[in-house]
Structure 1
Amino acid sequence: MIRLRRVYDPPEPGADGVRVLVDRLWPRGLSKAAAAVDEWPREVTPSAELRRWFHAGGSAGEFRRRYEAELAGPGAVAELERLRGLAAAGPLTLLTAVREPASGHAAILAELLTGA
């Protein structure tokens, strides 16, 4: 099971399982203790260039295409496989600072991890 949550929301110990931050930058104003992040694999986060392009007015569809292309790189592929293994072993929560995790890059990543 893969969950999507905001990193600013308090941890849910019985439901979150392994908590994985999937943002390139550490969330503003949040201590590492409060975030309770277990892992931070930067290989599967959108690159700085892609983030800048999107925030400058890039389209969601093109962002998805470019992000999936980044995730096809060797380092990302290995990390995706490792994350799939974690998800198979128990709950996996993808954490992001975006306001609507279900409509951001974390949702794309979750789809790739589940094969949906």
Structure 2
Amino acid sequence: MLQIKRIYEKPSEEDGKRILVDRLWPRGVTREAAALYAWMKEIAPSADLRKSFNHRPEKFDEFTRLYREELESEDRKDELERLGRILRSGPVTLVYAAKDTKCNHALVLKQFLEENMNLI
């Protein structure tokens, strides 16, 4: 089972292994409160892509296309394989800090992983 959740939501047993998929540490969250299994910064969108998107919904389609291209690149292969191993071990929750729950990179990453689990 793979799900996503804002890091500001309270952790629960149903989360399984919680993996932070942001490049930057979320403001106001302690490591203890985050209750993370791992922090996978390198799976997050590049700094340039994150800045160009700037959480603007009208740019989400373009952001999605470009982030998927980044995920398909050789640079992300090792992190995707690591994430694939974790996913096969049980429930995983990808946690993120973005305020927008409908236009964010965790949604794109979740969909990408669901579509490509057999390849990673």
TM-score by length of 2: 0.86
The 1-side partners of 2:101 and 2:20 are apart by 12
Residue in 2 that maps onto 1:61: 61
For residues 1-116 of structure 1, the aligned pairs below 5 Å read 1-12=1-12, 14-55=13-54, 59-115=59-115
Identical aligned residues as a percent? 41
Partner amino acid, structure 1, of 2:30: S
The 1-side partners of 2:115 and 2:84 are apart by 10
Report the aligned-residue RMSD.
1.8
Runs of 4+ aligned structure 1 residues displaced above 6 Å come to none
The 2-side partners of 1:61 and 1:6 are apart by 21
Structure 2: gaps spanning 5 or more residues:
none
Residues 39/59 of structure 1: CA separation in 2 closer, same or farther (3 Å cut): same
How many residue pairs get matched? 115
Residues 75/102 of structure 1: CA separation in 2 closer, same or farther (3 Å cut): same
Structure 1: gaps spanning 5 or more residues:
none
Residue range with higher mean Cα deviation, 98-107 or 28-37: 98-107
The 1-side partners of 2:79 and 2:72 are apart by 11
TM-score by length of 1: 0.88
Report the Cα offset of residue 97 of structure 1: 0.7
Q: Is the 8 A contact 1:4 1:102 kept in 2?
A: no
